Structure 1
C-alpha cells in the first residue's frame, strides 16, 4: 500500500509515524504547542531525527469547544511555519491539518504535501474539489458537527456501521472528483465519548474493509487520561499501550505527540506480528 507525496512513493506496508506540531495557543496538550520559529524548528528536528515520516502542522485548534478563528489568522500562523521547516529540512513531508480549502491550497502551494481534514470535506464545500485539483494525498476523518459542538453529536445507531457508511459515502465523493490517495481516520474523540472511543478501537480491524490506509490519533487523548485519572501530560504510557493495540488492528499511520515512543511501538509490534 503506497501514497504519492510530492513524487515520492511512501510504502505503508510498515506503519509510519506522523508527528504533531500545533501552531496554536490553545491545543489540548500544551507540550504539542510551538508558536515561535525556534520552537517549531526544534520540534521538527527532533521528530524527524526520531523517525517521523510526516509532520502534521495545525494552526486551528480542533479540541472540543475550541475558539473559532478566521481563515486569515489560520493562514498567517501556518505559512511561516511551513517556510521555516522547509528552509531547514527541504525533504520534510508536511501534512496540513485544516478543513478550509483556501488554507489547504495556500499551504500546498507553500510546500505542504498532504491535506488532513477533520471534517472529510463537510465543513467546506470546496475542499474535495481543491484537493482533486492539487492532486495530493487526503486524510479523510470521521466527525459529526463542528469542533465547537461535536461533543453533543455522539448519537449513533451502530457506531462502526455508521462510521463505515460515512467513509463509503465520502470516499466515493472524493473518487468521483479524481482524488487518488485517500487515508481514513476514524476520529477518536470527535463526536465520540470515552465508551465509544474504546468500542471503536476494539473493532478497528473492521476499517480494513475500506481497503485504504488507516491513520489513528490516540495520542494523549482524554479517553486515556480520564480513564486513568491523570493529566494529559502524564498520558504517554497509556498512549503507547493503545497505539500498540491499534497496530495489532492493522493501522498504517500513528499520529502522535511523541515520535520516539511510537517508533518503539511499531518496532516491537512488528516482531510479534511477523
Structure 2
C-alpha cells in the first residue's frame, strides 16, 4: 500500500526535490563532480523528513539519483564527444564491464539493506573526500594495466559501487584513471559515457528490486521515485551552467578543499544515520 500525502505535504516535497536538484546541479558544475554524490544524501534527508522509513529512503535516494543521471550523462557525453575527449578504445575496454557491474549493483538492491547502502556511501564518500583534499594526485602507474582482465575487473568494481551509491562515472573512474596517469580531459570525457552505462542498468536493477515493496511514496516505479526524478533532473540540468560560471570566478583549489570537507561531513552523517 502506497503512502498518502496531504496537498501541503506534497507541495513541500516538490520544493525539497527542486532544492535537491538545484544544489546538485550547482555543485556538479562548480566542482566537476557527478550530481549524484550530492543528490543522494540530500534526497535521503528530504525523504526521511517526510516520515519515509530510512530503509526505503536509502533505496529511493540511490535509485532516483541514478535515474536523473541518464539525461545529464547523455548531454555531457555528446558535448565531450564533439570535443573529441571521449576515448573510444577505453570505452570499448571498460564499457561492457561497467555495464555488467552496474547491473549487478542494481540487482543487489533486492538483498542489500538501507544500512548497507548508507555504509557504502559513507565509506566511499570519505575516501573520495580525502582524495580531493590531497593537493597532489595519487599516481600508481604511468600506464593502465596491460592485462585486459585486470582492466575489466577494475571497471566492474567501479560499476557495482557506483550503482549502489547512485553516482555516475566521474566520481570513481576519474580519480582511478588519473592514478594510472590517464590524460585528465579524456578521463572526464570518457567518464560521462561511463555514467550512462552505469545509470541505465542500475536503474533497471533498482526498479526490479523495488517491485511489490510496500510503503513507497506515490508515483514510485520500483525504488525509482518518478515525480522526484522529473523535478530533480531538469532543475539540476539548468543549474549546472551557473555552477560552471561560478567555478571560473572562484579559486578551484579552495573549492575542492571546501567540497572535500562538505563531502566528509556528509559521509560521516550518512554513516551515523
Give the TM-score, by structure 2 length. Answer: 0.28
Higher relative contact order (Cα pairs below 8 Å, separated by 6+ residues): 2
The structure with the largest helix share of the pair is 2
Give the TM-score, by structure 1 length. Answer: 0.28
